[in-house]
């Protein structure tokens, strides 16, 4: 990943990389003290070299709170870090966001390494430098941009990840194809099942393509003024659905994104921006791989109307000048941002997805 000001960093992907963690880290960061913040759910994969100085973080969003961050900062400071100390973020997106933010604010910024252990973290949250925690007022409202020095992705750790989490991560993978890579969509159509089944070769290709797509967008637009917004394809809807479910276990982020992308395709089709064939192919692909594509498929979804959901969309932080920005598409592989959206099309897509 090439960023301005010489802040380039490397993303290393492979099966079984963690067995060589000691060598990989010593080669790149000789003599540097490493303090590891480890997701409790990924603890079994923590290599010996990182075990001696590791703090275990509780699983789940509770780790993205100020209280949890305070404990982490105290633990880091008790280890008397200096400017050469590095933080290792080992775990899913929760651990990565928390640890990256701790690194960003400790001694005004410590270097850190991302070792993502969920599919979602491997293809999305570990790349791009967004770190942070949640506030009572909303998710991810306290944070900083802080790029890692290295992202180390071992696909073997996914062998213990629940199928539901794999599918949630897959939603973010197929998102990159929808945004700008029709060829990748064709590849996923043939190989998506292998990715979900944990085939090492298929995973490595899907993850590498996803990271490259994200890195390219981030390099161009680190702070999300333009192109980076395309990464939010499906996300305006997704955030409304997640808020409706109070961000609890009913709906994982990636699950919300899959439904959100299906809605974005449906709105694009209704506005005659995208062909029915492309919208259908995109939605069918997700459904064929076991991803939910309709709001009515969410278990225990609250009894909300389309207009309630539109109201929830308005509370998204990615709103500028009081107008909602939607990411729509002209077909698979060509997404674009617009504030010019037919609210009737949005309402109809939501009504159809709710099954009301």
Ligand X SMILES: NC(=O)c1ccc[n+]([C@@H]2O[C@H](COP(=O)([O-])OP(=O)(O)OC[C@H]3O[C@@H](n4cnc5c(N)ncnc54)[C@H](O)[C@@H]3O)[C@@H](O)[C@H]2O)c1
Q: What length does the chain have?
A: 356
Question: Cα–Cα–Cα angle for 217, 220, 226, nearest 5°?
Answer: 80
Name which position in 21, 49, 130, 195 contacts ligand X (CB under 6 A): 130
Name which position in 24, 25, 42, 289 contacts ligand X (CB under 6 A): 42
Catalytic residue, chosen from 205, 232, 269, 270, is 232
Of residues 100, 89, 94, 30, the one with CA closest to residue 54? 89
Name the residue nearer to ligand X (CB basis): 7 or 330.
7
Asked if 228 interacts with ligand X (CB under 6 A), we say: no
239 included as an active-site residue:
yes
Binding-residue pattern over the window 57 to 86 for ligand X, x denoting contact by CB under 6 A: --xxx--x----------------------
232 included as an active-site residue:
yes
Other Cβ atoms closer than 10 A to 314: 12
Across the strands, what pairs with 54?
36
Name which position in 35, 157, 286, 306 contacts ligand X (CB under 6 A): 157
Asked if 128 interacts with ligand X (CB under 6 A), we say: yes
Q: Is the separation of the CB atoms in 327 and 337 below 8 Å?
A: yes
Catalytic residue, chosen from 64, 253, 270, 285, is 253
Asked if 111 interacts with ligand X (CB under 6 A), we say: no
- At 325, list the tokens: 């920005």
Q: Is the separation of the CB atoms in 91 and 121 below 8 Å?
A: yes
294 included as an active-site residue:
no
CB of 330 to ligand X, least distance (A): 25
Q: Which residues of 203-231 are buried (b: 16+ CB within 10 A; e: fewer)?
A: bbbbbebbbbbbbebbbeebebeebbbbb
Kindly tell me the burial class for residue 156, based on how many C-beta atoms sit within 10 Å of its own C-beta (0-12, 13-18, 19 or more): middle
Catalytic residue, chosen from 134, 149, 172, 242, is 172
Asked if 147 interacts with ligand X (CB under 6 A), we say: no
Residues 246-265 that bind ligand X (CB under 6 A): 253
Active site residues: 108, 130, 172, 214, 224, 228, 232, 235, 239, 253
């Amino acid at each position: 990943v090439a960023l301005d000001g010489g802040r380039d960093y490397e993303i290393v992907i492979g099966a079984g990389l963690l067995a060589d963690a000691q060598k990989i880290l010593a080669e790149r960061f000789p003599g540097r003290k490493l303090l590891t913040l480890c997701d409790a759910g990924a603890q079994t994969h923590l290599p010996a070299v990182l075990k001696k100085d590791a703090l275990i973080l509780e699983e789940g969003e509770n780790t993205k709170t100020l209280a949890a961050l305070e404990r982490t900062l105290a633990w880091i400071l008790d280890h008397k870090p200096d400017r050469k100390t590095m933080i290792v973020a080992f775990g899913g997106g929760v651990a990565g966001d928390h640890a990256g933010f701790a690194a960003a604010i400790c001694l005004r910024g410590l270097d850190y390494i991302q070792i993502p252990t969920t599919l979602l973290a491997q293809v999305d949250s570990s790349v791009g430098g967004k770190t942070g925690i949640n506030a009572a007022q909303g998710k991810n409202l306290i944070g900083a941009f802080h790029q890692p020095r290295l992202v180390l992705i071992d696909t073997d750790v996914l062998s213990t990840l629940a199928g539901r989490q794999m599918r949630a991560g897959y939603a973010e993978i197929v998102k990159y194809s929808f945004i700008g890579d029709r060829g990748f969509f064709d590849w996923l159509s043939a190989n998506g099942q292998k990715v979900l089944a944990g085939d090492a070769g298929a995973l490595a290709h899907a993850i590498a393509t996803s990271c490259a797509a994200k890195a390219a967008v981030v390099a161009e637009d680190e702070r999300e003024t333009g192109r980076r917004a395309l990464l939010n394809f499906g996300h305006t809807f997704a955030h409304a659905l997640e808020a409706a479910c109070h961000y609890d276990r009913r709906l994982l982020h990636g699950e919300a994104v899959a439904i959100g992308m299906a809605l974005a395709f449906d709105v694009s089709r209704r506005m005659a921006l995208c062909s029915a064939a492309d919208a259908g192919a995109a939605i069918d692909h997700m459904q064929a791989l076991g991803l939910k594509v309709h709001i009515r498929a969410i278990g225990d979804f609250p009894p909300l109307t389309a207009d309630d959901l539109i109201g929830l969309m308005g509370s998204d932080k990615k709103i500028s000048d009081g107008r909602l920005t939607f990411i729509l598409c002209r077909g698979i592989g060509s997404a674009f941002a617009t504030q010019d959206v037919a609210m009737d099309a949005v309402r109809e897509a939501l009504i159809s997805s709710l099954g009301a």
